[in-house]
Amino acid sequence: MKLFGRNALAFRIVVLAWLFGWFAKAGFYLPQLFGEARRFPFTTDRLPALFGWWALAAAAYVAPLAVLLAVVFPKRLFVRAGSIVLAVSAAIACVHLETFSDATFVTSLWTALWLVWFAFATHDDPSFVRHACLLAQCVIALQFVGPALGKLTREYTSGDAFYHLYFLQKDDWPYPLLRSRFAPQTLHAVAAWASRLVIAFELTLAATPLLQRRLALAITGIGLALIVLTSTWMLVSVVASLAGLAGAIVVLGRPAASA
């Protein structure tokens, strides 16, 4: 038995977006995990040696390539096995000492868990599409609950944190241009409003499962794009899998006959 039509397309979109985000920093992680980490292992007395073992992190990083078999041949067995591989690899990356600090692996884990659910769900169930879309939107929203609540502090609402972290320290566009054009007092005022808008937008993203599907998707698309455009292109690795989920919602939400 295999996936057909919009279900197969949704699976492929999520997996390929997941892989794109996962390997977006391959230029760093491949030499790090197969070179530096092997020569200079990260160890601590507080955790078992397994959490710093370079081979575990290296294997977890390259193992997701196996899911390409399921992309080409979306048989249920391959889809289920591939989804489990993605989830296990991301779970390892979230706790391994070489990779735990990268948010890429957090969003990858939650997306992979959605894929596991998708792979084992009964696709003939009349409520499958509704549940798949809602669960995907919930996964996306969940990624913004913590960031939004964490910014509800005086440092962020006053703009101090944004002013120092972005407007003073960032060398990516548009921050150097802003520093050259505006006085520090003006920049701080802009940072305050930008910080409040970010908090409001993240809270809105966290609430998207409560919104109408098209509106939720529009807000999600704008939000994911702004994360990259206003910070650094390297955050593509963090948002790519979430964008894949949004794409799956679009595909699954279409009438079956048009898929």
pLDDT for position 18: 98
CA distances from 17 to 5, 11, 14, 137 (A): 18, 10, 5, 16
Quickly count: other Cβ atoms within 10 Å of residue 152's Cβ. 10
pLDDT for position 183: 93
The answer, yes or no, to whether the previous bond of 31 is cis (omega within 30 of 0) is no
Q: What angle do CA 79, 216, 156 make, to 5 degrees?
A: 110
| pLDDT, tens digit, 9 for 90 and up, residues 202-219 | 999 999 999 999 999 999
Residue 255 has pLDDT above 90, yes or no: no
Q: pTM above the 0.75 mark?
A: yes
Please, what is the average pLDDT of the chain? 94
Kindly state the tokens that stand for 218: 């529009």
Q: What is the mean pLDDT of residues 235-239?
A: 96
Three-class SS state of 75: strand
Phi (first) and psi of residue 2, to 5 degrees: -140, 170
Residue 81 has pLDDT above 90, yes or no: yes
Q: Is residue 2 within 8 Å of residue 73, measured between CB atoms?
A: yes
Q: What is the mean pLDDT of residues 87-111?
A: 97
Confidence of residue 59 (pLDDT cuts 50, 70, 90): very high
Q: Any bridge partners for residue 75, and if so which? A: 2
Confidence of residue 42 (pLDDT cuts 50, 70, 90): confident
DSSP 82-117: HHHHHHHHHHHHHHSTTTTT-THHHHHHHHHHHHHH
Distance in angstroms (rounded) separating the CA atoms of residues 179 and 167: 7
pLDDT for position 256: 63
Extended beta strands in 105-176, E state: none
Closest CA to 26 of 242, 245, 234: 234
Q: Where are the domains of the chain?
A: 5-258
**Exposure letters 103-140 (e unless 16+ CB within 10 A, then b):** ebbbbbbbbbbbbbebbeeeeeeeeebeebbebbbebb
Confidence of residue 62 (pLDDT cuts 50, 70, 90): very high
CA 82 to mean position of chain CA atoms: 18
